[in-house]
Amino acid sequence: MSDSQVVTLRLPKDLKRRLEREAKYQGVSINQLTNYLLNSQLTQLESVSILESRLSNKSVNNLKKKVKKIMSKVPSREVQSWDRVN
């Protein structure tokens, strides 16, 4: 028995065509690609929600002070040539 359920979605034709094209390019089914995209986007949204919830009662000034304290402990050193922004 499978842990999956069937969900019917109504998609604009253009979005479905884009999904089909990308799934073909990636070598996966539309179902696999859609599951991946939904899962990754939902994970991002959940992460933002958790962060917003944790930060909602915090003072921005106190957070800035904490970050400055942490950053002050980072040793100063020259940036490698391959990592410089020109």
| Cβ-Cβ contacts under 8 Å for 19 (sequence gap 6 or more) | 11, 30, 33, 34
Residue 81 lies in a domain: no
Q: Is the pLDDT assigned to residue 1 strictly greater than 70?
A: no
**Domain count within the chain:** 1
Compute the average pLDDT of residues 40-49: 97
Coil/strand/helix, residue 4: coil
Task: Give tens-digit pLDDT for 4-30.
Answer: 899 999 999 999 999 999 999 999 999
Nearby residues of 6 by Cβ (< 8 Å), 6 or more positions away: none
Domain membership of residue 34 (yes or no) is yes
Domain-embedded: residue 1? no
pTM of the model: 0.65
Domain-embedded: residue 23: yes
For the cut 90, the answer to whether the pLDDT of residue 70 exceeds it is yes
- What range defines the domain where residue 55 resides? 13-74
